[in-house]
């Protein structure tokens, strides 16, 4: 089993949300820390994100979130499980109400980064929680 030398993170906005500033700032932050970032951008359905996850063979998935994205993220978590990809950590970042944080964790989201989370906290979390070992080729 080989381990990848650079952590590969997929960053995406989900659904019809068009606000990209947060995801761009985080992508930059992760690249500066030496990670490889696959940035999907906007108008990504859960299915499209799964496709990219499979194709890109990422270690971590970062989703830009709002209060209103819950059902979309729920769908994503379901699809990850269905495709046996639920060993990949999913983290959410954005304006997620406190009440929703536990709900998201209950459906398998590893961590939620609320507004003004520091680069340090996000980077440290990813580095300490990338569990995925690169195994034999899937495709």
Site for other proteins in 38-57 (CB under 8 A): 41-43, 45
For 20, residues 6+ apart whose C-beta sits below 8 A from its C-beta are: 13, 41, 42, 64
Site for other proteins in 104-133 (CB under 8 A): 114-116, 118-120
Strands laid side by side in the 60-66 sheet: 36-41, 8-13, 60-66, 89-95, 111-113
Segment interacting with other proteins, rule: CB under 8 A, options 2-10, 55-63, 66-74, 125-133: 66-74
Among 6, 19, 131, 134, indicate the residue that binds other proteins (CB under 8 A).
Answer: 19
On whether the CB atoms of residues 95 and 113 are closer than 8 A, the answer is no
For 100, residues 6+ apart whose C-beta sits below 8 A from its C-beta are: 67, 70
Site for other proteins in 79-108 (CB under 8 A): 95, 97-99
Q: List interacting residues with other proteins (CB under 8 A).
A: 15-21, 24-25, 28-29, 41-43, 45, 66-68, 70-72, 95, 97-99, 114-116, 118-120
């Amino acid at each position: 089993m080989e381990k990848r030398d650079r952590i590969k993170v997929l960053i995406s906005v989900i659904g019809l949300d068009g606000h990209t500033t947060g995801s761009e700032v985080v992508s930059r932050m992760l690249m500066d820390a030496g990670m490889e970032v696959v940035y999907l951008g906007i108008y990504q359905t859960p299915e499209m994100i799964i496709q990219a996850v499979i194709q890109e063979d990422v270690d971590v998935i970062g989703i830009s979130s709002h209060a209103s994205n819950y059902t979309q993220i729920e769908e994503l978590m379901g699809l990850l499980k269905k495709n046996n990809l639920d060993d990949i950590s999913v983290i959410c970042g954005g304006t997620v109400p406190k009440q929703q944080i536990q709900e998201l964790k209950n459906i398998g989201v590893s961590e939620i980064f609320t507004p003004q989370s520091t680069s340090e906290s996000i980077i440290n979390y990813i580095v300490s929680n990338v569990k995925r070992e690169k195994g034999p080729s899937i495709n």
